[in-house]
Amino acid sequence: MPYQAIAQRINSLLKQAETHYQCYFAFPEFFLDLRGSVAGQANWQTNILRFNPALLQQHTEHFLKHTVAHEVAHLVAPNVYGHRIKPHGREWRFVMESVFGVTASRCHRYDISKTGHYPYVYSCACERPHFLSAIRHKRSLRGTDYLCQKCRATLRFTHKLNAENYG
């Protein structure tokens, strides 16, 4: 089901781009093999898309509408405007908003605490919970500072989630 839904969404987006730009876009290979916090990846040179199946399952409707469009726009924009464009520049934003009719956003806001790969909970000055991976947690213990993107305060370790609380 998820594989079919993604294929249908990609096909629909490519048809919209073909109608708008009056040119053909080859259907990309795509895989559901990403893990962790990354929702999707696009490689326009190889025409390959990769998606995170855990985030797709947790946020199906939004993921299909926004994340798939986001990655397909990364395939369309350089093929139309050339490879020297910025990844999230005005050409990519134009494809997202004017061609696909989807709000252009660089980052997703999915809750990644339930993916099971971020069991280390940190807090900041604005008291938002932040979930770090084992690798980032170890780096933090060795002196690397991570900052909250909202308040810019250094993150401080609070606790580790138990296995029954996530995943």
Catalytic annotation, residues: 71
What is the distance between the alpha carbons of residues 78 and 99, in angstroms, rounded to a whole number? 14
Q: How many residues belong to the chain?
A: 167
List Cβ<8 Å contacts ≥24 apart for 31-36. Answer: 32/2, 32/3, 32/6, 32/56, 35/115, 35/117, 36/112, 36/115, 36/117, 36/118, 36/133
What is the distance between the alpha carbons of residues 89 and 28, in angstroms, rounded to a whole number? 22
Query: Helix, strand or coil for residue 94?
Result: helix
Query: Helix, strand or coil for residue 69?
Result: helix
Distant-in-sequence, close-in-space partners of 55: CB < 8 Å, separation ≥ 6: 39, 63, 67, 108, 110, 112, 115
